């Protein structure tokens, strides 16, 4: 064991941390109290702590390569991870405490991994095992999830708040499934997905306002408009390399937002559009005193009026929309077009050699993904009753992309789990909201490094040969 090399390595990491932390963490710009301009306050203690943390963290990670160090390090890091929260230091230094805890936990997990995985088999077998687990989750949890989602509004623990949260999570599940067609199946990185969501929302709001069409008449129109925008945008760009598509969609998302913000006569500008019509159940509105000539939902079913009926209806609406998206995706994967998407994702040149037209094939994926975003947008507009450009910023696109990436590109069940993890859970930890996007960003980098196919990466073959034994293994 080369102690000097280890120390040098850890020292280098600590030095880089010092360089990173000194200007940005060491000095904080603050407003001059009672004056104009800004001044700085120093936080050199935090710099020192981060340097020390990185030094020992790096040292521990290097030492884990030596087998006789693993158990002591496991004990030590697990001790820190579990013991530190008991010391009540988080009251004074919350960020530092939690950083230390997370770092020790990571080291402990890694140590445990290396200690108990004696065969040292990582790579193919390991990914197969995870794949089997994912397949198991997909086969058994899928139906369980659907049943749970169906009875969810009637569970005694479900309050109105939780139900609203369920609607929100399902909206993101639907968006994630829609984006999964584009990113997961066709392998096109779309960073402006929220633009199509906005097109759907605004087209529903404006058509319903100006022409008085109902939600059900507008829904296909919203999808159609969004798909149309997808085709217009995709046609020129999809001929090029994938990276260009990423940045053009990013720009397009911004264009849509800027136009909505400034074209006041059309979209209401920053004030948005309020009073978007609410959906009705087979033409029966959810209203305590329905207008002349219509029967309200509660009158028809002869029950007492309750504002919750509408929420429950909205919940089932988005559940149906999301399941339709899922069903559509699962089915189209088996069609020639779906298989062409996946083939194109893997190797474009080979596809071209086999006679697949890459531009048209990508365009269909792009348009179908946009269409689902349009449906979700129409739902969003009718649920909120108010839309403004603020709801369609780049951050939304990033969140949807994070859901797809974390769930595992192409994995339908992974999207559901990731949406619950990224949307549902943070709602319960409002005080940590400021760390949310930070964690998303770090998670996207981490996933790409350690599990590039996503947490639950498993892909069923699109098509199974009937007799695989005879197919000549």
Partner 1 sequence: MRIGNKASAGGGRWLLRACLRCLLRDRFRGAERSGNTTGLAQQAEDRSEATVLGGVEALEYFLQQLINGVTLGAIYGLIAIGYTMVYGIIGMINFAHGEVYMIGAFISIITFIVLGLIGVTFIPLALMVVLLSAMVFTAAYGWTVERVAYGPLRGSFRLAPLISAIGMSLFLQNYVQLVQGARVKPMQPVITGGFEFFQGGGFTVRLSYIQIIIVLLTTALMIGFTMLIQRTALGRAQRACEQDMGMAALVGVDVNRTISLTFVMGAMLAAVAGMMVTLYYGVIDFFIGFLAGVKAFTAAVLGGIGSLPGAMLGGLLIGLIEAFWSAYFSVEYKDVAVFVILVLTLIFKPTGLLGKPDIEKV
Residue 34 touching partner 1 (CB under 8 A) = no
Q: 155-194: which residues touch partner 1 (CB under 8 A)?
A: 183, 187, 189, 191
Q: State the number of binding residues for partner 1 (CB under 8 A).
A: 61
Minimum distance from CB of 92 to partner 1 (Å)?
Answer: 18
Q: Which is nearer to partner 1, 127 or 299 (CB)?
A: 127
Residue 242 touching partner 1 (CB under 8 A) = yes
Q: How far apart are CA 381 and CA 254, in angstroms?
A: 19
Q: How far apart are CA 373 and CA 252, in angstroms?
A: 15
Q: Which is nearer to partner 1, 170 or 404 (CB)?
A: 404
The dihedral formed by the CA atoms of 139, 145, 151 and 156, expressed in degrees to the nearest 10: 130
Among 109, 290, 443, 462, interactor with partner 1 by CB under 8 A: 443
Tokens of 73: 């390090």
Yes or no: say if 413 and 141 are a contact pair by the CB < 8 Å rule: yes
Residue 392 touching partner 1 (CB under 8 A) = no
Among 82, 258, 335, 354, interactor with partner 1 by CB under 8 A: 258
- DSSP per-residue codes, 297-325: HHHHTT----THHHHHHHHHHHHHHHHHH
Minimum distance from CB of 17 to partner 1 (Å)?
Answer: 9
Q: 57-96: which residues touch partner 1 (CB under 8 A)?
A: none
Residue 250 touching partner 1 (CB under 8 A) = yes
Residue 37 touching partner 1 (CB under 8 A) = yes
Q: 265-304: which residues touch partner 1 (CB under 8 A)?
A: none
Cβ-proximal residues to 194 (8 Å cutoff; 6+ apart), any chain: 253, 373, 392, 393, 394, 396, 397, 400
Q: Which is nearer to partner 1, 16 or 217 (CB)?
A: 16
Residue 22 touching partner 1 (CB under 8 A) = yes
Minimum distance from CB of 11 to partner 1 (Å)?
Answer: 15
Tokens 């071209």, residue located: 352
Please identify, among the stretches 196-204, 247-255, 277-285, 333-341, the one whose residues bind partner 1 according to the rule CB under 8 A.
247-255
26, 193, 399, 458 from 393: Cα distances, Å: 31, 10, 10, 31
Among 107, 181, 401, 413, interactor with partner 1 by CB under 8 A: 401
Yes or no: say if 381 and 209 are a contact pair by the CB < 8 Å rule: no
Tokens 């149906």, residue located: 320
Residue 432 touching partner 1 (CB under 8 A) = no
Among 251, 358, 424, 426, interactor with partner 1 by CB under 8 A: 251
Among 44, 140, 211, 244, interactor with partner 1 by CB under 8 A: 244
The site string for partner 1 over 322-351 (x = CB under 8 A, - otherwise) reads: --------------------------xx--
Q: How many other β-carbons are positioned within 10 Å of the β-carbon of residue 257?
A: 20
> Helix crossing, 412-419 with 160-180: angle to 10°?
140
Cβ-proximal residues to 75 (8 Å cutoff; 6+ apart), any chain: none
Cβ-proximal residues to 325 (8 Å cutoff; 6+ apart), any chain: 174, 177, 178, 372, 375
Q: How far apart are CA 150 and CA 159, in angstroms?
A: 15
Chain residues binding partner 1 by CB under 8 A are: 16, 19-20, 22-25, 27-31, 36-40, 183, 187, 189, 191, 236-237, 240-244, 246-248, 250-252, 254-255, 258-259, 261-262, 348-349, 394, 398, 401-402, 405, 409, 434-435, 437-438, 440-445, 448-449, 452
């Amino acid at each position: 064991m080369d102690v000097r090399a280890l120390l040098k390595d850890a020292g280098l990491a600590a030095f880089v941390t010092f360089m990173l932390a000194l200007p940005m963490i060491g000095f904080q710009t603050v407003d001059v109290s009672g004056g104009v301009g800004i001044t700085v306050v120093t936080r050199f203690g935090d710099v020192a702590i981060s340097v020390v943390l990185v030094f020992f963290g790096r040292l521990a990670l290097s030492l884990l390569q030596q087998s006789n160090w693993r158990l002591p390090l496991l004990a030590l890091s697990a001790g820190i991870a579990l013991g530190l929260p008991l010391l009540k230091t988080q009251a004074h230094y919350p960020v530092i405490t939690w950083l230390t805890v997370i770092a020790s936990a990571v080291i402990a997990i890694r140590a445990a991994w290396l200690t108990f995985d004696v065969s040292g088999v990582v790579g193919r077998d390991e990914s197969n095992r995870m794949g089997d687990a994912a397949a198991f989750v997909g086969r058994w949890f899928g139906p369980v999830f659907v049943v749970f989602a169906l009875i969810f509004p009637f569970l005694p623990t479900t309050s109105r708040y939780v139900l609203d949260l369920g609607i929100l999570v399902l909206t993101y599940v639907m968006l994630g499934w829609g984006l999964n067609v584009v990113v997961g199946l066709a392998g096109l990185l779309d960073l402006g997905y929220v633009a199509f969501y906005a097109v759907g929302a605004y087209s529903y709001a404006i058509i319903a306002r100006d022409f008085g069409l109902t939600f059900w008449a507008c829904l296909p129109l919203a999808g159609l408009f969004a798909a149309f925008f997808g085709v217009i945008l995709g046609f020129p760009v999809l001929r090029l390399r994938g990276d260009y598509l990423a940045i053009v969609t990013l720009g397009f998302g911004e264009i849509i937002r800027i136009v909505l913000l400034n074209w006041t006569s059309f979209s209401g500008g920053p004030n948005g559009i309020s009073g978007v019509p609410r959906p009705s159940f087979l033409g029966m509105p959810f209203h305590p005193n329905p207008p002349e000539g219509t029967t309200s939902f509660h009158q028809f079913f002869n029950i007492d009026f309750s504002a919750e009926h509408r929420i429950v209806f909205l919940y089932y609406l988005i559940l149906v929309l999301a399941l339709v998206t899922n069903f559509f995706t699962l089915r189209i994967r088996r069609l020639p077009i779906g298989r062409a998407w996946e083939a194109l994702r893997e190797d474009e040149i080979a596809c071209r050699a086999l006679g697949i037209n890459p531009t048209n094939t990508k365009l269909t994926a792009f348009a179908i993904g946009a269409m689902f975003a349009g449906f979700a947008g129409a739902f969003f507009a009718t649920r909120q009753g108010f839309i403004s450009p603020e709801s369609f910023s780049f951050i939304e696109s990033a969140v949807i992309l994070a859901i797809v990436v974390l769930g595992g590109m192409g994995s339908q069940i992974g999207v559901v789990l990731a949406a619950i993890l990224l949307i549902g859970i943070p709602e319960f930890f409002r005080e940590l909201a400021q760390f949310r996007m930070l964690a998303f960003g770090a998670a996207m980098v981490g996933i790409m490094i350690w599990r590039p196919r996503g947490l639950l990466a498993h892909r069923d073959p699109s098509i199974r040969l009937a007799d695989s034994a005879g197919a000549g293994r």
